[in-house]
């Protein structure tokens, strides 16, 4: 798991928030209960085979603000995929890496503290996840709307 830089998180989320409000017309969250746990399918891009999923969980607790779980199966065996968070159509950050076994199966996770997310409470952002190998997108989710409660 890659540790998050608070300054990097802050700057990128502010930029993504401003861009989404100005360019896409996204607003603010209405309540804590607006965003629920979401499972998104990872689909293969190009010559990749296999499939996977991202589970995005926002418990909004005093310690854990959000956590993500990643899983791929029947991907390229014995390989390392970087998990990229793409916010408002722009690369945001690598949240984790996934090492596949000899069958091409692997999993990873990321955690954001409540303190990491607190400055962005109420933001609503267009987000998608990409798994990259050698800098090339191998798997991706559809874009979804994520509320930072």
Task: Assign residue 81 the CATH number of its domain.
Answer: 2.60.40
Structural domain count, the chain? 1
Residue 1 lies in a domain: no
* pTM attached to this predicted model: 0.75
Residue 99 belongs to what domain range? 6-148
Rounded to an integer, the average pLDDT of 1-29 is 44
What is the reported pLDDT for 12?
Answer: 52
Residue 16 lies in a domain: yes
Helices assigned H by DSSP within 1-149: 6-19, 114-117
In the block, tokens 């995929």 appear at: 81
Residue 74 lies in a domain: yes
Per-residue confidence band for 143, with pLDDT thresholds at 50, 70 and 90: very high
Q: Which residues sit opposite 91 in a β-bridge?
A: 86
Would the pLDDT of 13 be above 70?
no
Tell me which of 14 and 129 has the higher pLDDT. Answer: 129
The pLDDT > 70 percentage for the chain reads: 77
What is the reported pLDDT for 59?
Answer: 80
């Amino acid at each position: 798991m890659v540790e998050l830089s608070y300054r990097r998180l802050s700057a990128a989320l502010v930029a993504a928030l401003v861009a989404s409000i100005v360019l896409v017309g996204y607003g603010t969250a209405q309540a804590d209960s607006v965003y629920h746990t979401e499972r998104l399918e990872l689909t293969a891009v190009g010559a990749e085979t296999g499939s996977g999923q991202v589970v995005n969980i926002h418990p909004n607790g005093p310690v854990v603000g959000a956590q993500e779980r990643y899983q791929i199966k029947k991907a390229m065996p014995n390989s390392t995929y970087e998990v990229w968070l793409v916010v408002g159509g722009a690369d945001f950050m690598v949240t984790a890496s996934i090492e596949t076994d000899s069958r091409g199966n692997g999993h990873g996770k990321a955690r954001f503290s409540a303190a990491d997310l607190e400055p962005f409470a109420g933001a609503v952002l267009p987000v998608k996840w990409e798994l990259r190998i050698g800098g090339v997108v191998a798997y991706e989710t559809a874009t979804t709307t994520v509320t930072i409660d």
